[in-house]
């Protein structure tokens, strides 16, 4: 039976092995390719979602969400919203109520997406809510993944330019890993709730 903690110490992450998305990545820069990608995604039973926005280092300047990552498990699509906006095919995916769609802190991502176009959000499962149900207090993807899997997700690319002409391999891997990690966490957390787990309660510092 797996043992997890209610609060994960970031210091314990230092020596953990790094994990990266092991599947195929497709960067979507045209509406035509977006239609094809969404057609595939709408046939999947489980999808992980995440977004990236260009960081602003100037007070008062905010950028629109630049990237939407959607991962089926083995394949991750990176939709470059700064190039294609939010086409109707993506709206259809975001409004879908049949597929199990998982994300972390989805309220923030949703707010950013609605800043590009108004739509009626479909069903999403926020992993922070699942974590709370399991007695886990941490809300970050990094701490959750380390707690559940004993592996480290690097945040090195988080403040990179997500509106660059082309995304580097490091950016693509970072973005895909976050969406894929949501899928992995959801599957494992569902399994743990069904089969049982032990929760070690750590005292607050």
Torsion angle in degrees (nearest 10) through CA of 173, 141, 155, 168: 20
Q: What was the pLDDT predicted at 55?
A: 87
This prediction's pTM: 0.94
Residues 6+ apart with CB under 8 A from 120: 95
Three-state DSSP at 139 gives coil
**In this predicted model, what pLDDT tens digit does every residue of 155-178 receive, in sequence order?**
877 768 999 999 999 999 999 999
**In this predicted model, what pLDDT tens digit does every residue of 30-58 receive, in sequence order?**
999 999 999 999 999 999 999 999 987 77
CA 50 to chain centre: 3
Residue that has been written with the tokens 């994960």 in this structure = 8
Q: For each of the domains in the chain, give its residue range(s) and CATH number, in order of start.
A: 3-200 (3.30.420.10)
Question: 53 near 161, Cβ under 8 Å?
Answer: no
């Amino acid at each position: 039976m797996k043992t997890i903690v209610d609060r994960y110490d970031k210091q314990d992450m230092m020596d953990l092995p790094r994990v990266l998305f092991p599947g195929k990545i497709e960067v979507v820069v045209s509406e035509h390719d977006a239609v094809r990608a969404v057609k595939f995604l709408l046939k999947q039973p489980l999808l992980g979602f995440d977004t990236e926005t260009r960081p602003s280092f100037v007070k008062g300047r905010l950028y629109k969400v630049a990237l939407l990552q959607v991962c089926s498990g083995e394949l991750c699509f990176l939709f470059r919203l700064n190039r294609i906006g939010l086409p109707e095919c993506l709206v259809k995916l975001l409004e879908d109520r049949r597929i199990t769609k998982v994300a972390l802190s989805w309220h923030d991502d949703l707010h950013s997406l609605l800043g590009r176009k108004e739509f009626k959000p479909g069903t999403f499962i926020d992993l922070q809510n699942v974590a709370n149900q399991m007695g886990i207090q941490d809300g970050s993807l990094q701490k959750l993944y380390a707690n559940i899997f004993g592996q480290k997700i690097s945040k090195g690319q988080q403040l990179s330019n997500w509106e660059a002409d082309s995304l580097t391999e490091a950016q693509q891997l970072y973005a895909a890993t976050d969406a894929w990690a949501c899928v992995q966490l959801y599957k494992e957390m569902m399994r743990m709730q069904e089969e049982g787990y032990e929760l070690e309660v750590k005292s607050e510092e």
